[in-house]
Amino acid sequence: MLTTICTSAAQVIEFGYVVLFASAFPIGSVLTLFTNLLEMWSDFFKLVHVHRRPESVRASSIGVWSQLLSNMVWLSVLTNVFLFGFTTDQIFKVFPSLTPATPIDPNSDPSSPEAAAAPKAIAMVFLVEHVLLLVLLVLQNLIPPVPEDVETELRRRQRRLLLLGP
């Protein structure tokens, strides 16, 4: 049981690194894919050649991990948009109308046109963040927590159990 919790915790931490910092290290998801494939292969080898098959334990859900993963996804929108908007100049490449005519000098006059572009860029970052959070909310409400075919199968099994009786 403890090894299952440790394995799940490691996978959730790995998921967190990938989604929370995807804009800072985009190739991280590909590297994670390869490391997970390597881990699957080593687990397969251990199950076939070294260890006995572990006992299965029924569970109704993945428990608290589900809420933790959901919270990470919501937080990843914030971290990635803010990393994108505040640590790079990509916001000016995506939205060229925000680009100042000359580079912004921190010692320049606050009333200059160059300094006027900074609040627009900040507003655009917050607008993009809010739009992405709205899209995430819509998707979360459109996608059912249990697929329809799974619900159908569960109802079919429940009816069969009721017909057979105790």
Q: What is the mean pLDDT of residues 24-39?
A: 91
By the 10 Å C-beta count (0-12 exposed, 13-18 middle, 19+ buried), 81 is classed as buried
Q: What is the pLDDT of residues 120-165, one digit of tens each?
A: 777 888 888 899 999 999 998 999 888 899 999 989 988 888 877 6
Secondary structure of 3-56 in HEC code, one letter for each residue: HHHHHHHHHHHHHHHHHHCCCCCCCHHHHHHHHHHHHHHHHHHHHHHHCCCCCC
50: its two tokens: 């070294």
Checking if the pLDDT of 108 tops 90, the result is no
Q: What is the mean pLDDT of residues 101-109?
A: 56
